[in-house]
Amino acid sequence: MRPIGIGLAAALLVAALVPAVVMSAPKAAPAVSEAARKQGMAEAPAVAQAAGITCQVTDARFVGKATDAKTKIATSYYEVDCDQGLGFVLSSAAGAKPTAFTCIEADTPQPDGKPSALPCVLPGNADPKADLAPLLAKAGVQCTPEAARGIGQSPSNTFLEVACSGGSGYVLQAASPAVVTGNVVASDCLLFDGSDGNIKCVLKDKASRLAVVDTYVTAANNGCVVKDRRFIGMSQAGSSFYESACADGKGYIYKVEKAQLVQTYPCEKASGILGGCTLTDAREAETAQAGLYTKLAKSAGFDCQVSKYAPFPGPPGKDVVEMACTNRPDGGVGVFGGPADKPVVYDCGRAPIAGYRCSFTKPADAIGVFTADLKKLGKPDCTVSATRVIGKTAKGTTYVETACADGLKGYVLEYTADPLNAVGVVGCAFTKDCKLPGNV
């Protein structure tokens, strides 16, 4: 499964979180001296602005200065607290643009597991994860951070991992530096669990993140006792999809937007959704569902041995589905409700009158019904070769234009909606509504 719309791992050039010269600088004292704060407030705002930090600096400290033994270039280090968003550690070398690392990056332990050599200590930066709220809001995700860490930087982006209460987690792709005014994209950590790239989520394990599926199962209220869970992927529109396998053998796919369940698909109707279900035997469920549709179609007077089917969006409480048949060339669209609702099937020829268009049936295999309707209304001389829905009338009937295979002018049929029946006909020679070839 390829993460859709996410190209971070392949393109990222991970930068060291803190330059080596900073690592060798003395560790900051737990308390900030007045002299360090005074010098910081005097010098750091200009350094922050030069680094691209757009916030208002509300507190700052001068950390110290180090001179490179080889280049003899002196670099000054500062910590700043912003009026909104994250705080930063700044490094300013003579003749170079200052660099900035968020306090989350600065507080992240070193690769060998040892504590950071240059953590943030200003009171306003004491809990950097709490300062993530503006970035998370801008990314459009609901998350109460439990933990956060720096992943790395590219020339234009900062990458942070955030673990949220409830088990979910995100990789934040923010600007560099990670200011609130820059763009922010949040990608679910589950996208990276199977990736070979250099972005990984490590603050929680995959099982903890997948526990969020139980929340969607509860919201769906479909009686599923979860046996297994799977993150499927994301659509181009940004929707997330999850699968659950249930103890009774059933399974479902859940469509989620902004951490809210928006639609549930039984596995027997989900084959077209990002590859369908894999945790349950969807083929067996599809066979059983095809048998049910065969019975429902027959009870509606439409003899169809259903070989495959595809759902249409339908009103609440209605199951609207296109059906292909093994015992006839044309298929139909079934509208099935509860036990008290009478099942209805529209053959694929007339289905557009009801607002549905078949994809399994070829138009040539479905058009014969219009020839039969013309004969019933006293027009036996036209074998219909093409049709066009003209539109509805004020009284709720629908006009359908027909063309004849012999090239002579065709007819306009009028259909009632419920039940769908042909009730009138007029020749194209007597109306200006015809537009098909041969009728004008």
Question: For residue range 194-251, what is the model confidence (pLDDT) as tens digits?
Answer: 777 778 899 999 988 999 999 999 999 999 999 999 999 888 788 899 999 999 888 9
Q: Does position 316 have pLDDT exceeding 50, yes or no?
A: yes
Q: What is the pLDDT of residue 9?
A: 36
The C-alpha atoms of residue 149 and residue 17 are separated, in whole angstroms, by 10
Chain position carrying tokens 């679910």 = 188
- Mean confidence (pLDDT) of the chain: 88
* CA terminus-to-terminus distance, the chain: 52
Largest Cα–Cα distance of the chain, in whole Å? 103
pTM: 0.62
With cut-offs at 50, 70 and 90, classify the pLDDT of residue 8: very low
Please give the C-alpha separations between residue 131 and each of 154, 220, 423, in angstroms, as whole numbers.
Answer: 22, 34, 69
Q: What are the residue boundaries of the structural domains of the chain, listed by start?
A: 1-199, 211-280, 284-365, 367-430
Is residue 315 scored above 90 in pLDDT? no
Nearest residue to 63 (alpha-carbon basis) of 84, 104, 92: 92
**pLDDT band at residue 6 using 50, 70 and 90 as cut-offs:** very low
pLDDT tens digit sequence for 328-386: 999 999 999 877 788 999 999 999 999 999 999 999 999 999 999 999 999 999 999 99
Give the separation between CA 204 and CA 248, rounded to whole angstroms. Answer: 30
Q: How far apart are CA 144 and CA 130, in angstroms?
A: 9
Query: pLDDT digit string (tens) for 91-136?
Result: 999 889 999 999 999 999 887 778 888 899 999 999 999 999 999 9
Report the pLDDT value the prediction gives residue 270, as an integer from 0 to 100. Answer: 84
